[in-house]
């Protein structure tokens, strides 16, 4: 009795039954089924991020001198620290993935069309803020990789015409990476961007309530702005169901599965390992972004230098603008994917490019492979000390950092496994001496004898002749 009285008082003064309940019970199309769970799951992943992030911030020290040590403490010693860091990492992965899947679904079903243009636009802004969170978060790890990523971020910003250096110095908090840099990224990561996300989600959700969840696209129901709202309301009245509790259970079930996956990953896989300490003087770091940026890493490695600045600066801007204006370009007409081959084509192309570039970015050492081992004797396959010396030099002089011979070496330059079939002595000597497209000249760093040894070894790299049948 007492509890009922208290609730009545709270309900009357807060207006829960008058304001919040109708929102929860708003009528949604009954065909809004499993396709529609990704948006709410993205929101749920954000909640995971907020909670695990607050927990981490209670121990993490955002200072250049102590951040790395505090992260080591969180990972190795703090109770549940390992798990909380893991949750924040996998939560970030989940949030980026789900936001992209959610957006793809909305695009395929053309839910961005009238009257939901602003829903889409606010979502695009949110996506870019989320990517900003992912990037700044990676730097807060403040190991060698994190520190060098700041440098890369500063360099990229430095390419903005006229004011680039100012932006770079703003990001670095001075002229170099140091005491001020991490504090800045921390403030951006925990105050500025989350503030934007909260505001963006508020707007995004308000717009959902204002315009209602879109129906599944039907071929016989193209969007006509003049009549859409009327027809939508009429259909909802006939066939709609209240969001709570009839439609919401799928969202909750999917989110529960996602949280389960995040927990299992953080328990069994753990947070990403910390690299070496963040000493900017440590030159053997090999900076690599988190996996959702590998595709970009691959693109940066493949570009001709003269295009690079345009792509580095232009691609994020163009990507943002292109996505942002989608509903302005077409906000009426067919929604069914079967009537929109270009939309399907765009998604298939985008997804394929992402997967291929990601695999490339991960597998192919775009850069010199500093860890390559010397060629084993059975591969060299020669008793001639002259040839053996040549094989040794191919490793020593760094040829193998970029060229591959039967699985040994990098992939930056052409493979040399059967180079003896392609080039003769003169051609090889000229290439090595002068260098050429993307290859340094070795004229100054090789003696005539060394050159001969290398060339003679390379000439032995020929395809084995097929055995003649007896």
Q: Which residues of the chain form contacts with another protein (CB under 8 A)?
A: 63-66, 147-148, 151-152, 154-156, 158-159, 162, 164-166, 168-170, 172-182, 277-287, 300-301, 303, 305, 308-309, 366-368, 370, 396-398, 401-402, 412, 435, 438-442, 444-445
Q: For residue 118, give both structure tokens.
A: 């602003």
Distance CA 124, CA 104 (A): 11
Q: SS3 sequence, 113-156?
A: CCCCHHHHHHHHHHHHHHHHHHHHHHHHCCCHHHHHHHHHHHHH
Q: How many other C-beta atoms are found inside a 10 Å radius of the C-beta of residue 354?
A: 14
Distance CA 302, CA 286 (A): 18
Of residues 309 and 331, the one with the C-beta less far from another protein: 309
Instruction: Name the minimum Å distance from CB 243 to another protein.
Output: 38
Instruction: Name the minimum Å distance from CB 67 to another protein.
Output: 9
Residue with tokens 């050429």: 436
What does residue 333 show for φ and ψ, rounded to 5 degrees? 90, -160
Of residues 303 and 325, the one with the C-beta less far from another protein: 303
DSSP codes joined into one string, 359-422:
HHHHHS--S--TTPPPPPHHHH----HHHHHHHHHHHHTTHHHH--BTTBS-SSS---TTHHHH
Instruction: Name the minimum Å distance from CB 412 to another protein.
Output: 5
Of residues 313 and 379, the one with the C-beta less far from another protein: 313
Of residues 54 and 163, the one with the C-beta less far from another protein: 163
What residues have CB less than 8 Å from 97, skipping those under 6 apart? Answer: 292
Of residues 174 and 245, the one with the C-beta less far from another protein: 174
Instruction: Name the minimum Å distance from CB 310 to another protein.
Output: 13
Of residues 258 and 312, the one with the C-beta less far from another protein: 312
Instruction: Name the minimum Å distance from CB 425 to another protein.
Output: 22
Of residues 324 and 366, the one with the C-beta less far from another protein: 366
Of residues 86 and 361, the one with the C-beta less far from another protein: 361
Angstrom CA distances, 249 to 16, 33, 253, 263, 370, stand at 21, 10, 6, 21, 53
Instruction: Name the minimum Å distance from CB 70 to another protein.
Output: 12
Element (DSSP H or E) covering residue 197 = helix 193-211
Instruction: Name the minimum Å distance from CB 367 to another protein.
Output: 5
Beta bridge pairs of residue 27? 242
Q: For residue 24, give both structure tokens.
A: 């929860």
CA atoms within 13 A on the CB side of 287: 21
Instruction: Name the minimum Å distance from CB 144 to another protein.
Output: 9
Tell me if residue 28 falls in helix, strand or coil. Answer: strand
Angstrom CA distances, 437 to 413, 426, 431, 461, stand at 10, 18, 10, 22
Instruction: Name the minimum Å distance from CB 306 to another protein.
Output: 8
Of residues 108 and 147, the one with the C-beta less far from another protein: 147
């Amino acid at each position: 009795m007492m509890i009922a009285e208290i609730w009545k008082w709270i309900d009357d003064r807060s207006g829960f039954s008058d304001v919040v309940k109708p929102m929860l019970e708003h009528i949604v199309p009954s065909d809004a089924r499993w396709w529609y769970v990704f948006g709410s799951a993205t929101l749920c992943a954000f909640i995971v991020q907020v909670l695990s992030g607050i927990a981490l911030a209670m121990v993490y020290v955002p200072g250049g001198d102590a951040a790395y040590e505090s992260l080591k403490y969180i990972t190795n010693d703090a109770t549940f620290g390992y798990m909380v860091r893991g949750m924040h990492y996998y939560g970030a992965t989940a949030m980026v993935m789900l936001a992209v899947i959610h957006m793809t679904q909305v695009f395929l079903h053309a839910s961005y069309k009238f009257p939901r243009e602003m829903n889409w636009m606010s979502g695009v802004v949110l996506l870019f803020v989320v990517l900003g969170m992912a990037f700044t978060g990676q730097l807060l790890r403040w190991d060698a990789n994190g520190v060098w990523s700041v440098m890369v971020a500063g360099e990229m910003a430095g390419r903005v015409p006229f004011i680039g250096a100012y932006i770079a110095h703003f990001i670095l908090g001075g002229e170099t990476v140091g005491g001020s840099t991490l504090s800045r990224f921390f403030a951006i990561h925990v105050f500025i961007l989350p503030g934007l996300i909260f505001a963006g989600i508020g707007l995004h959700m308000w717009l959902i309530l204002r315009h209602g969840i879109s129906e599944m696209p039907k071929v016989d129901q193209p969007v006509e702005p003049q009549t859409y709202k009327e027809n939508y309301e009429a259909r909802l009245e006939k066939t709609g169901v209240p969001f709570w509790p009839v439609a919401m259970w799928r969202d909750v079930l999917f989110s529960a599965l996602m949280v389960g996956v995040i927990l299992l990953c953080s328990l069994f896989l753990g947070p990403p390992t910390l690299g070496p300490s963040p000493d900017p003087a440590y030159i053997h770091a090999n900076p690599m972004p988190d996996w959702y940026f590998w595709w970009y890493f691959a693109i940066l490695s493949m570009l001709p230098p003269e295009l690079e600045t345009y792509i580095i600066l232009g691609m994020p801007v163009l990507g943002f603008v292109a996505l942002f204006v989608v509903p302005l370009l077409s906000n009426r007409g067919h929604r069914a994917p079967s009537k929109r081959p270009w939309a399907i084509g765009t998604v298939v192309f985008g997804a394929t490019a992402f997967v291929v570039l990601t695999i490339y970015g991960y597998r192919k050492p775009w850069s010199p492979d500093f860890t390559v081992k010397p060629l084993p004797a059975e591969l060299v396959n020669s008793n001639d000390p002259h040839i053996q010396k040549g094989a040794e030099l191919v490793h020593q002089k760094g040829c193998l950092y970029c060229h591959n011979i039967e699985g040994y070496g990098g992939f930056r330059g052409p493979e040399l496994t059967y180079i003896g079939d392609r080039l003769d002595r003169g051609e090889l000597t000229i290439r090595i001496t002068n260098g050429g497209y993307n290859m340094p000249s070795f004229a100054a760093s090789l003696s005539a004898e060394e050159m001969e040894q290398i060339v003679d070894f390379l000439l032995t790299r020929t395809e084995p002749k097929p055995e003649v049948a007896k």
